[in-house]
Amino acid sequence: MPTLPDDAFAPLLVDLNEPQRQAITHADGPLLILAGPGSGKTRVVTRRAAYLASTVTSARHVLAITFTNKAAVEMRQRVAALDVGPGITVATFHALCAKLLRIHHERAGITRNFAIYDRDDKRKAIKQAIEECGLSADNLSPASVDEQISLAKNALCGAAQYAESASDWRARMVARVFERYEALLTANSALDFDDLLTRMTLLVERDAELRGRLNDQYRYVLVDEYQDTNAAQYRLARLLSEGHRNLCVTGDPDQSIYGWRGADIRNILDFERDFPDAKVVRLEQNYRSTKQILALADKLIQNNLQRKHKALWTENTSGENVRIVELDDSDREASWIVDDIAKKVTAGAKLSDIAVFYRVNALSRVVEEAFFQKGLPYQIARGVEFYARKEVKDVLAYLRVLSNPDDELSLMRIINTPPRGIGDTTIERLKAEAQRTDRRVINVLSDKSVVSGLGRSGMKTRAFDALLMELSPHLNLSPSRALTEIISRSGLRAMYAQEDRGGDSAPVENLDELINAAAAFEESHPGASIVDWLEHAALVSDVDSVEGEKDCVTLMTLHAAKGLEFPIVYIVGLENGLLPFRRMQDDAGAGYDEEEERRLFFVGITRARRQLTLTRANYRMLRGITTRTTFSPFLDELPPNALQWIESERVATPVRSSRIDRGELPSDVDQWSVGTMVRHPLLGIGQIVSMDRGSRRTFVDVVFKDGSRKTWVLEFADLTRVEFEDVD
């Protein structure tokens, strides 16, 4: 490595501790960065990428692989901000594989325009496979088969191999479905998410020439969140760095929480065995949390055996005690939290600084209700995925059929959407004919001799075929133009406009948002094709979670919290069976991993910067049954002196004004507008600075005397209008 004076890249090496600096400047050979929570990993990773690109090699030889799009976007931006020209490849595993498979589709043995099936598509295909195997979905649920196929694929086990190892009856049934499912995917020219990884990995493994080319192209490979890699990703990472061994992996074994999904913590634990000459850097100084919070997390995680020791420490202040609050039941637990938050807000805390975590989504509802009652705005991190919405999938199905006529799953989705009189019997006939003559249904559609034999429904079928013909030239337009045309010409817009009479979703708005999303995509990817856009839509599911800092509390599962941080954190439901989550009446606790549960709790704790509150309810209602709970055993593992126990003060559930209970707008809402003065019981007098009357909810932004600004859902906000004269 050329030794240059440090100031040549001073901005990259400023403000670092020694291990961070080592991690950034290590050039050749394997490198393992063990990064504790809040240890500045992202900074190290981005600067390392920039350092390599500017001093050791050039940007186009640097490849950074992440797990989430969010991480990829963030890394791309932060590297760009360091002024190291563009050219670094930053991608998720899946996006990278999709891109490479598209380029090398011939070697991979697939068509160029292959579709990417998401979970819903996959389940549908599996269901079809189950039926075609003459089995009933009763004994074999698509979901469980999905899970098993997924685990198998992620372990690089194909259908044939799975069949060989199938020992019991059930496994043999799954094996049959697996094989049938694979045949379906092939017939549809489609890949599922797992295929993207496994097909690419197997391709690189068997194709030495391609492997050599990739090794030469990507001379420095960086894999983030390495503790979450599964067998396919592990193998791919190794193959991609086989020629040069410049593989840098970062992660934290203590934050491995996706074992149930096929991630193998041993990949990171055994890195030094795989690469005996690996340089190991530990980032142990925490810049995020108070001493108390960090000590708690550290004490807890020491109970795990499967780990690499890290000495977590911080120079931050000691901070407040971690609070443990015990409440009578889940309702009171929720309202206690919301009351506590309200107090903090009055004391000046920002809502966006606060988060509530829970182990299972089912717990979110009680908490939400409490927020509703109090009129405090909140958001749930896991929104219904935009691209999973019915109307969006309908549109995408048209695009898919047009770009990949093999995709019969999508064809079946649109053949009678909007309703055009092609019913089940007609579809069955078309399918039968297709099977008899060994064609795809779409080809049968355009066969005059077949269609004319269908009588009245033949007309409809012909009309549909004509529609597809009419739409197909639009494929050459830009994605947003194509979408616009197809949405209106297919009749989808008209259909959803009619459906949109005050329902709780706004499908037409979503269609427009889809067009906007496509337009935005075009801007960042000039010259992108429909297929590019479809790929983007399949792999980037977080359009709506990109919205920036909203002034509200964030609710999410512990899993979703990974990688985030908040000054104030609440974790609910510290109960045995819930925080170490245990499935009841399960076959001998299969799939239960206490260490992983502990890591999950560790992740939750270490999200908190300043204040952490753990709560627990004596009685919890779950699935309509109220049960007496017991303490989470994890609580016993925490250092008692760092904890502050708060007795269950009995907060009388306040009897609220009925308008808010019913979620209604104030009766004098007509007189509410921007400029109206309002009163909040805690925050006093404020003025409306914006008011957004959506179809479902009305949002108001209020600025108070002290200059603070809050957003509320008016239906649930404890706001009353005050006459201007009342204010002095």
323 catalytic per annotation? no
Task: At 41, list the tokens.
Answer: 């990993």
**67 lies in the binding site for DNA (CB under 7 A):** yes
Q: Are 658 and 373 in contact (CB under 8 A)?
A: no
Q: Which of residues 601-660 bind DNA (CB under 7 A)?
A: 621, 623-624
Compute the distance between CA of residue 592 and CA of residue 91 in angstroms, rounded to an integer. Answer: 32
**696 lies in the binding site for DNA (CB under 7 A):** no
Instruction: Select 70 or 440, whichever has its Cβ closest to DNA.
Output: 70
**128 lies in the binding site for DNA (CB under 7 A):** no
User: Catalytic: which of 180, 288, 607, 610?
Assistant: 607
Least separation in angstroms between residue 448's CB and DNA is 23
Q: Is 283 left (phi over 0), alpha (psi -120 to 50) or beta?
A: beta
Q: To the nearest 10°, the Cα dihedral for 157, 163, 164, 168?
A: 120
Least separation in angstroms between residue 231's CB and DNA is 13
Least separation in angstroms between residue 508's CB and DNA is 16
Amino acid occupying residue 74:
E
671 catalytic per annotation? no
Contact pick of 111, 161, 361, 711 for DNA (by CB under 7 A):
361
Q: Are 205 and 197 in contact (CB under 8 A)?
A: no
Contact pick of 242, 284, 542, 544 for DNA (by CB under 7 A):
542
Contact pick of 11, 86, 109, 423 for DNA (by CB under 7 A):
423
CA distances from 580 to 68, 202, 614, 629, 640 (A): 26, 37, 14, 13, 19
Per-residue binding letters, 164-203, with DNA (x by CB under 7 A): -----------------------------xx---------
Stretch that binds DNA, among 12-20, 103-111, 471-479, 591-599 (CB under 7 A): 591-599
461 catalytic per annotation? no
Helix ranges (DSSP H) in 207-329: 208-217, 231-240, 266-269, 271-274, 291-301
Instruction: Select 9 or 357, whichever has its Cβ closest to DNA.
Output: 357
SS (H, E, C) 568-612: EEEECCCECECCCECCCCCHHHCCCCHHHHHHHHHHHHCCEEEEE
Least separation in angstroms between residue 596's CB and DNA is 7
Helix ranges (DSSP H) in 416-491: 424-436, 441-445, 448-451, 456-471, 479-489
In sequence order, the 6+-apart residues with CB closer than 8 A to the CB of 412 are 427, 441
Least separation in angstroms between residue 438's CB and DNA is 28
Instruction: Select 456 or 623, whichever has its Cβ closest to DNA.
Output: 623
Instruction: Select 52 or 338, whichever has its Cβ closest to DNA.
Output: 338
Backbone angles phi, psi at 665, to 5 degrees: -70, 155
Give 615's strand partners: 325
Compute the distance between CA of residue 662 and CA of residue 213 in angstroms, rounded to an integer. Answer: 64
Least separation in angstroms between residue 252's CB and DNA is 12
**419 lies in the binding site for DNA (CB under 7 A):** yes
Which residue in 429, 348, 408, 330 sits closest to 653, CA to CA?
330
225 catalytic per annotation? yes
Backbone angles phi, psi at 19, to 5 degrees: -60, -40
Instruction: Select 260 or 645, whichever has its Cβ closest to DNA.
Output: 260
User: Catalytic: which of 118, 121, 194, 225?
Assistant: 225
**429 lies in the binding site for DNA (CB under 7 A):** no
Contact pick of 70, 244, 266, 462 for DNA (by CB under 7 A):
70
Contact pick of 42, 541, 708, 711 for DNA (by CB under 7 A):
541
Compute the distance between CA of residue 109 and CA of residue 532 in angstroms, rounded to an integer. Answer: 19
20 catalytic per annotation? no
607 catalytic per annotation? yes
Least separation in angstroms between residue 170's CB and DNA is 15
The strand pair at 720-722 and 220-223 is best described as unpaired
Enzyme catalytic residues: 41-42, 224-225, 255, 607
The residues binding DNA (CB under 7 A) are 67-70, 92, 94-95, 119, 127, 138, 193-194, 225, 228, 258, 260-261, 263, 359-362, 365, 382, 416, 419-421, 423, 539-542, 556-557, 559-560, 581, 583, 591-592, 597, 621, 623-624
